[in-house]
Amino acid sequence: VVWIKSATDPQWTEVPFQMENWECSYWVAAGRPMGNAPLDSTQRQLCWQEFTTTFNLKTADGTSVGNLTHSDIQKTILFLPSCEYHEPIGVTGGLNSGILAKVPLLVN
């Protein structure tokens, strides 16, 4: 898990400014302030777009998460993409979340 969006955020106040080897260029230009007050909502949205581009965050259909609206990404858990094999750990049934079930279920 790389980021969790819990609610709609029209002012883009819940965005990361730095993580691992990445820092938002607008946040750096503002002098790396504590909190997000020195950045306006447009700059915070651009930080979100930089973040999603840097970490290659996309929806299941390949759309960049950075191009989605604040209401599109509410209540969302974002995972880093991986090309490594992952052992199936999910349970049978429920919505498809991309996690394979350990025990598949055959249906009519």
Q: Which of 14-18, 30-34, 73-77, 92-96 is the least confident region?
A: 92-96
**Which of 41-45, 56-60, 75-79 has the largest mean confidence?**
41-45
- For residue 51, with 0-12 CB atoms within 10 Å meaning exposed, 13-18 middle and 19 or more buried, which class applies? buried
At 13-23, the pLDDT tens digits run 889 999 989 99
Which tens digits make up the pLDDT trace of 80-96?
A: 877 787 777 766 766 66
pTM of structure: 0.74
Residue 79, both tokens: 């995972």
Rounded to 5 degrees, what angle do the CA atoms 99, 57, 20 make?
Answer: 105
